[in-house]
Amino acid sequence: MSSLEVRNATIAYGRSVAVTDISVTVPAGTSLGIVGESGSGKTTIAAALVGMVPLITGDILLDGAVLGATRTKAQRRAIQLVQQDPYSSLNPRMTVRQMLRELLLAHAIVPRSQVAARCAQLMAMVSLDPGSLDAFPHQFSGGQRQRIAIARALAVEPSVLVADEPTSALDVSVQATVIELLARLKQELSLTLVFISHDLAVVNAVCDTVAVVKSGALVEVAPREQFFRAPQSPYSRALLEAVPRLPTR
């Protein structure tokens, strides 16, 4: 279980600034939902958290320690990403076993003699049949592929999981099962969770705190109950008002 903090972070792609002066804190074992429209900078923040995009200014801190531009192996392990599209994020030429085995051996998570058992355990952890370890990604459904992507992230035993729109590429009928899985894993593994989404219903179901981003700037941070009951910024209110509702009689 680890705390995560983003302090006055500005992030750019080349000369194009995508996110400006973002500051948020995620206490250990809690979950933060980052919401906003497409292009608001949510995925950029996710990429910076896992070290894929450098900061121009500011800092990212894990358990109070600043993560530098070059992270140690342990720091890279500690914060793992679950990407939006499981099909493109998984290597189509590798079986699930090969993907998990590669990570377990590279990071020396368990002794070589225990790798097979750990692969089976990871599959069971995400409610998949360990008997399908030797199948390739295309042999699974979209929801199953996302579970595999989650298992792959968990293979290196992170303390922070960053989920970037993990349900948006899935059928509505499958989304709920993935959300339930993430909520369960957060509790069972004492994970700190950063959940990137444009779906406010999903954020309401999963997150303790909500951060609202617009055009690369942070416009509001509030506890979930407060945000959904009485959002403070006009943009937050507009987001909530845009959520479809069934007509009442």
At residue 174, the pLDDT reads 85
State the pairing for strand pair 31-35/79-82. Answer: unpaired
* Average pLDDT of the chain to the nearest whole number: 92
Degrees, nearest 5: CA angle 20-3-202: 70
Mean pLDDT, range 65-70, rounded to an integer: 90
Q: What is the mean pLDDT of residues 205-218?
A: 94
Length of the chain (residues): 249
Q: Which of 29-43, 77-91, 98-112, 163-177 has the lowest mean pLDDT?
A: 163-177
Residue 9: pLDDT over 90 = yes
When pLDDT is cut at 50, 70 and 90, the band that residue 77 belongs to is very high
In this predicted model, what pLDDT tens digit does every residue of 23-54 receive, in sequence order? 999 999 999 999 998 889 999 999 999 999 99
Contact partners, residue 134, CB within 8 Å, separation at least 6: 95, 96, 97
Residue 68 has pLDDT above 80, yes or no: yes
Contact 19, 13 (CB under 8 A): no
What integer pLDDT is reported at residue 245 of this predicted model?
A: 58
pLDDT number for residue 244: 64
For residues 226 and 241, what is the distance between their CA atoms, to the nearest angstrom? Answer: 16
Nearest 10 degrees: Cα torsion 131, 135, 138, 141 = 0
Flag whether pLDDT at 139 surpasses 50: yes
Neighbour tally for 4: CB within 10 Å:
25
**pLDDT of res. 248:** 44
What is the average pLDDT across 113-123? 97
Interval 126-140 mean pLDDT = 96
- Looking up tokens 């339930």 gives 180
pTM of the shown model: 0.91
The percent of residues above 90 in pLDDT, for the chain, comes to 78
Residue 176 has pLDDT above 90, yes or no: no
Is the pLDDT reported for residue 14 higher than 90? no
Quick one: which H or E segment has residue 120?
A: helix 115-125
Query: Which residues make Cβ contacts (< 8 Å) with residue 75, sequence separation at least 6?
Result: 51, 62, 67
Q: What is the pLDDT of residue 2?
A: 93
Set out the domains of the chain in order of their start, with CATH numbers: 4-88+160-242 (3.40.50.300)
